[in-house]
Structure 1
Amino acid sequence: MRLNKLEKIKEKSNAKNLLIVGEPNLFYFTGYRGVGGLLDCDGTRTLLVPLLERNRALGIKDLDVKVYYPVKLEENVIEGTLVSAVEKLCPSTTDKKLLIDLGYASVDLFLQLSSKYEAKNITEDILQTRAIKEEKEIEAIRHAQRATAMAMKMASESLVEGISEIELAGIIDETMRKGGAEDYAFPSIVAFGENSAEPHHIPCERRLRKGDTVVVDIGAKYNGYSFDSTRTFLYGITEKSKRIYDVVLEAQLEAIDAVQEGIEASQIDRIARSRIEKEGFGKLFVHSTGHGVGIEVHESPAISMKSKDILREGMVITVEPGIYFQGELGVRIEDTILVRKGKPEVLETLYKTL
């Protein structure tokens, strides 16, 4: 558990009370994966969960668990909602200030809490805290990397004329599971030919033909942590597809070389984007260069043009430039990278040379 990190957040805001919501946050701070909230009321920490999650929550050691339910079924069950439980255990008459991550709070939850407390948003503090990975977190990401690498290799070996996107996605998902993945970090993206120009394409019945570009964007999840990798395969190389591939690869490699502690995240985006713009394809690079990876596949820091984030050792990010010709083809190459003080550590899944 990382409950000690809550004290720093409270001290920064000069507050006594804090409520953590959202499964990713709850998992990060307590190891609990489910619905509910973690209440820190003047140093007394309580995991608040609905009745159906009680048995799972009681497995969390060294943390008091309180249960809430719409009606009073048992003496030790708090009648009402999460807000009712917060009010009962941390009355606003004691201290009206309550810190909460609004990134995970529903509008209804925020409105109810705001009517009783002086709710202050600590989303940025939570994001920055989670952005720096501990060794245990990095090891889980490496496990997810290995499962993803197995699936990416299988994907490359399964490219036969006539296979459908859905069929290949199924092979990939099965391989990740066999490789030890507990889940997929996101729905696997498999896109052939003209579909590869859609960055977030949903696999369909489109079948592989000679001359197609094939974008495979996949990631396994292990012990709560995600991985993310994209490779583009050319199933029959054309002059145009090879030219685009080479430009994207050069942009990615140049951006990766610049990854180190202390550099602005926006600079990484600028390096990749400048290379693509120099080759005349700037308007076809339609997304940011990358993002943080951890419990969620998209988290802080943002590797984008307007990002204010500074890279720090222990961050895990992606670098994934792409070029997309609508209705024709797309190329994206992505690696997950561990930020170090010096040379970055690239957590590769498959060689990128054609």
Structure 2
Amino acid sequence: MLLHKPADQKYYLGISTDGLFVFFDEKKRAFSIEGNSINSYETGFEIVTSIEELIKGLPRIGARVPCLETRDYTRLMNETKLVDFSDQIDEQRMKKSGDELKNIKRACKITSNVMGEVNDHLKPGILESELERRLKTSGLEESHGTAFDFIIASGKNSEMVHAKLKDRRIRAHDLVIVDIGFKYNDYCADMTRTFCLKPNHQQFEKHALIMQAQEIAIRTAKKNVKFKDVNSEVKQFLQKNHVSQFMPYRVGHGIGLEVHEAPFPENEGLLPSGTCFTLEPGIHIPGFGGIRIEDDFVMRAKAKQLTDAPRELKP
């Protein structure tokens, strides 16, 4: 098998090569490929003179085919059939082992603790960038880095789904979306809360609606239920309340070595036990602002929550 994605390399081999190819054979030997140089992870020195020599005589090789097709390695496959193993890789990575789950739980615990500190830092006049800096500093003491670029989006910025961090001063009546996540041993957490220092009635009302939407998602997410059915239930609820057009994204995604990985709601497969995923309903309304609530879960008989911090708006 040829592995290109660093997360796939980490999953199968416990290492990643930052963009290089890794050839993984039936004897579970691993060789990195850089240009025409082949190196063994066991010996640390060059053992094969060319990629052609490494794959010569193999009837087929598994890989994430789209990754390979964007590179120049398809020219090597004249005598070898390239088989797309994307679905098989995703299916294996979806079901987390005990050790994987320990790492994800630790990442979720760190992220939850930092999210619980937001109200201590959130004051009128603080810059979005300053709030981000404080939260990162707090979490980096125990974590192994951030899982993604944090989103701190206040006021008009919160109307955008993927707002860019700005030197904007947060005001008392702003809705403030805080989307953060830390890593532990390369495994990711992803969590979102919405804050407001002085919420009005409409903000309370819409925020309560999104909390309800997440509760519906949690109740619907059960072992061997399709993720797309969870997504449909949430969308139908929001449609009944005339706000579905303001949620232009799916209700969640898988988490693990990548902060966005399988399963996704558009997939036809069921949610098997051991799958870790997010549930994150939200709305982004022009002229009003954005509200999003996101937590991480592991599938058992039903969805078991891994992240934990207050969701309610404080009056």
C-alpha distance 288-44 of structure 1, shift in aligned 2 (>3 A): closer
Q: 1:32 maps to which residue? A: 15
Contact 1:195 1:327 in 2 (8 A): no
SS at 1:108's partner residue?
coil
Distance 2:110 2:26 in 1: 42
**Bigger RCO (CA 8 Å, 6+ sep):** 2
- Matched residue, 2:151: 189
Instruction: Indicate which of 277, 285, 302 corresponds to 1:325.
Output: 285
Q: 1:128–1:243: structure 2 CA closer, same or farther, 3 Å change rule?
A: same
- Tell me what 2:124 maps to: 161
Aligned residue among 225, 236, 250 for 1:263 = 225
User: Which residue does the alignment assign to 1:89?
Assistant: 54
Q: Assess, with a 3 A threshold, how the Cα gap between structure 1 residues 115 and 328 changes in structure 2: closer, same or farther.
A: farther
Match of 2:77 among 103, 114, 138: 114
The corresponding residue for 1:8 is none
Q: Which residue does the alignment assign to 1:135?
A: 98
2:278 maps to amino acid: T
1:286 aligned to 240, 248, 268, which one?
248
Secondary structure at the aligned position of 1:302 is classed as coil
Q: State how many pairs are aligned.
A: 311
1:43 and 2:27 aligned:
yes
Q: How does 1:49-64 map to 2 (within 5 A)?
A: 49-50=33-34, 58=41, 64=42
| Equivalent-residue separation in structure 1 for 2:128 and 2:43 (angstroms) | 46
**Distance (whole Å) between structure 2 residues aligned to residue 50 and residue 88 of structure 1:** 14
Deviation at 1:77, TM superposition (A): 5.9
Aligned to 1:200: 162
CA distance in 2, matches of 1:321, 1:41: 42
Cα distance in 2 for residues equivalent to 1:114 and 1:246: 56
1:221-260 → structure 2 map (5 Å cutoff): 221-260=183-222
The yes-or-no answer on 1:123 pairing with 2:106 is no
Single out whichever of 290-299 and 156-165 deviates more from structure 2: 156-165
> Does the 8 A contact of 1:22 with 1:105 survive in 2?
no
- Cα deviation for residue 45 of structure 1 reads 2.2
2: distance between equivalents of 1:282 and 1:42? Answer: 49
Distance in 1 between residues matched to 2:144 and 2:158, nearest whole Å:
27
Q: 1:65 to 1:120 in 2, by over 3 A?
A: farther
Paired residue for 1:13? none
Cα deviation for residue 106 of structure 1 reads: 5.4
Percent of aligned pairs sharing the same letter: 26
**151-160 or 21-30: bigger deviation:** 151-160
Q: In the alignment, which residue of structure 2 is the partner of 1:307? A: 267
Gaps of 5+ in 2: none
| Residue 21 (structure 1) aligned with residue 10 (structure 2) | no
Q: Residues 217-265 of structure 1, C-alpha deviation per residue, up to 9 Å, x if partnerless? A: 0100110100000000122111221111011110101111121211011
Confirm or deny: 8 A CA contact 2:62 2:83 kept in the other structure.
Answer: yes
TM-score under structure 2 length normalisation:
0.92
Shift of 1:200: 1.0
Q: Distance in 2 between matches of 1:264 and 1:23?
A: 28
Distance 2:137 2:66 in 1: 33
Hey, what does 2:310 align to over in structure 1?
351
- Cα distance 1:257–1:182, how it changes in 2: closer, same or farther (>3 A)? same
Moved more, 344-353 or 160-169: 344-353
In terms of mean alpha carbon deviation, does 102-111 or 319-328 score higher? 102-111
Secondary structure of residue in 2 paired with 1:215: strand
Partner of 1:9 in structure 2?
none
- Residue type of the alignment partner of 1:261: K
Letter in 1 for 2:312: T
